[in-house]
Amino acid sequence: MTDDNILDSIHSPSDLKKLSIEQLNQLSEEIREEIMLTVSNNGGHLASNLGVVELTIALHSVFNTPKDRIVWDVGHQSYTHKILTGRRAQLKTIRTENGLSGFPKRAESEYDCFDTGHSSTSVSAAFGLACAGNINNEKNYTIAVIGDGALTGGLALEALNSAGKSKQNLIVILNDNKMSISKNVGSMAKHLTKLRIQPSYLDAKSRVQSRLNKIPGIGHGLARMMSGLKSWIRTNFFGHQKNMFEQLGFNYYGPLDGHDIEQLQTAMKAARRSKGPVMLHVCTKKGKGYEYAEKNPNVFHGISAFDIETGEPKSSSKGYSAVFGEYMCSHAAKDKKLCAITAAMAMGTGLVDFSKKYKNRFYDVGIAEEHAVTFACGLAAGNVTPVFAVYSTFLQRSYDQILHDAALQNLHIVLAIDRAGIVGEDGETHQGIFDVAFMNTIPGVTVFAPASFSELNDMLDAAIYRTRGVAAVRYPRGGELFIPEDYHYDGEPYTFYGKKFSETLIVTYGRMFSNACAAAEKLKKRGTEVCILKLNTIKPIDLNAVKKCMGYRNCFFFEEGIKYGGVGESFGFLLYQNGFKGKYHLTAIENYVHQAKCDSTFHRLGLDAESMEEIIIKNSDPSVPDNQVLDYKNGVN
């Protein structure tokens, strides 16, 4: 093995085809070091990326990308893919403003054939790409790489069912890094797999089937009989029955060592030669090559910047998720009917301690948000109190279940909506800016928006114990922002803060209240005093709050959410419906939000204190006609 850095010689996947297995193994270690260094500085997904280094190298060394297309499920494991496809020099910019995305992006590279960010989409997308290639007479391969966790999503299972019965050429790689899909098949099955992926076996199988089919009259029957005999021998002599994938119509090869590049290459070449859909079952270890990540793959799944030597985060502070988890544990001790549900996100939502202390009331349903909501409805119908903790961006998948199964029946379920609002570096797929708008469309739903940890606790009380029907509490990623000492939350649906009889009113909710208070202080120093209306319950909007706005000349609404269908749009409608004569200015988000630190994003969207101050000064000019709605254009593309 050479001491030279092999990674320096890799500029595209074609360079891999010149390397020996020994060199490819060395390359895998170099890539691991590169990924660890990058994530330790930028944060990101570490364990998942370290687990697929050899798998990614094997894929790009066997297939001819980008002509052959790889769809990465979720896409949080695509860092090696980015390095090998000409983006190594940009890797240090990953998850930063105007830098590489932490997920595949079609606009970023021709090697990224499908944008991903949410789970369980890969097989559907890859199947569609494969069918399109067939229609267009393209001679290429389409590969979906999906983890065993993502396979718990209903969309993935629907896609496997559809693809399996289609006979379409499609390769699905199951990256099995935790959950056993079926019983250990033993050494004999491994030996049979090794035999079945050899080119000589595949060629012989193809020739025999072809010749049998050509025999007039009895050929097809003989071919079917041979296939049935093979299955009978496999079942009765080797105890190996068809697994789920084979029953769905896939040619199954596995389990394979996901860190053995040579074995992976052999299996992938066999998959290329097979007809119809193929499932390669690959076993990998999350966090491989980094001791701390191997021992705690959940901790290092998605992590902030950390010290490589110690594995400790460079900065840490208590966040809303932790406060929520503490609340659930303390109240479950007293309330025997309080249950918690997560969709494979116990750690991210703060429910790890709950899962240990109250095992009989904790339900991890896998990556299945739709099922989680309807399951919660069943619990509610059975006279217990379910709390479903879920990221805002993942709750989008449950719209129909909230509407049809929960709200329509007026069942009391509680949605603890984590990561509500801007989340920063994860980018467009993870910004929690749409939940308010889609919840606004569903009758009978109550939504609370805390601006501090203490408000979160009180609003959880209100949602769980003082509200009927569907109740949601939405709170942001991270910790508390500044709240003035003289502000007091009284548990009411709204709160006025500041000089009540000024000409200018700021309306907002959630953590934007902090920025509004800071903007009010800046304006006061410039001789402009404002009052702030903080909405604590954002659905339904209390009409008394609306009626108390009638005397203001200027009303500025700042919303950390999508404009169309949001609270600001609804509030403006209610204002004018109730006779408001002043000017209403709405600053809200009008499009998808790109990756960047939260502070930078707030400034770009006109939602930080400085921007609020500027917008209010600019639009408080008496020369601007009254009774006119002015929108701040945030310039997000």
Q: Which residues are catalytic?
A: 286, 369, 397
Amino acid in the structure at residue 455: E
**Which residue is it, tokens 């109190």?**
385
Residue 162 burial (C-beta neighbours within 10 Å; 0-12, 13-18, 19+): middle
Report the distance separating Cα 132 and Cα 579, nearest Å. Answer: 56
Report the distance separating Cα 275 and Cα 424, nearest Å. Answer: 44
Cβ atoms of 31 and 7 within 8 Å: the answer is: yes
Structure tokens at 228: 């049935």
Report the distance separating Cα 52 and Cα 280, nearest Å. Answer: 14
Report the distance separating Cα 367 and Cα 393, nearest Å. Answer: 13
Cβ atoms of 250 and 171 within 8 Å: the answer is: no
Q: How many CB atoms lie within 10 A of CB 209?
A: 16
Pairing of strands 537-539, 446-448: antiparallel
Q: What is the dihedral of CA 596, 637, 610, 568, to 10 degrees?
A: -110
Report the distance separating Cα 311 and Cα 295, nearest Å. Answer: 11
Structure tokens at 349: 């939502």
Tell me: cis bond preceding 476? Omega within 30 of 0 counts: no
Residue 191 burial (C-beta neighbours within 10 Å; 0-12, 13-18, 19+): exposed
- Residues constituting the chain: 637
Residue 592 burial (C-beta neighbours within 10 Å; 0-12, 13-18, 19+): middle
Q: What is the dihedral of CA 288, 32, 38, 307, to 10 degrees?
A: 50
* 376 closest CA partner among 366, 367, 363: 363
Strands (E), 222-377: 251-257, 278-283, 338-342, 362-364
* 111 closest CA partner among 134, 78, 89, 136: 78
Helix (H, G, I), strand (E, B) or coil at 349: coil
Report the distance separating Cα 611 and Cα 600, nearest Å. Answer: 11
Which residue intervals of 197-296 are DSSP H helices? Answer: 199-214, 219-238, 244-248, 261-273, 291-295
CA distance to 119, 426, 622, per residue, from 367 (Å): 7, 19, 54
**Which residue is it, tokens 């170099």?**
30
Report the distance separating Cα 464 and Cα 380, nearest Å. Answer: 12
Report the distance separating Cα 381 and Cα 259, nearest Å. Answer: 47
Query: Who's near 592: CB < 8 A, 6+ residues apart?
Result: 428, 431, 636
Structure tokens at 188: 């004999």
- Compute the radius of gyration of the chain from its Cα atoms: 28
Cβ atoms of 491 and 466 within 8 Å: the answer is: no
DSSP letter at 487 equals -
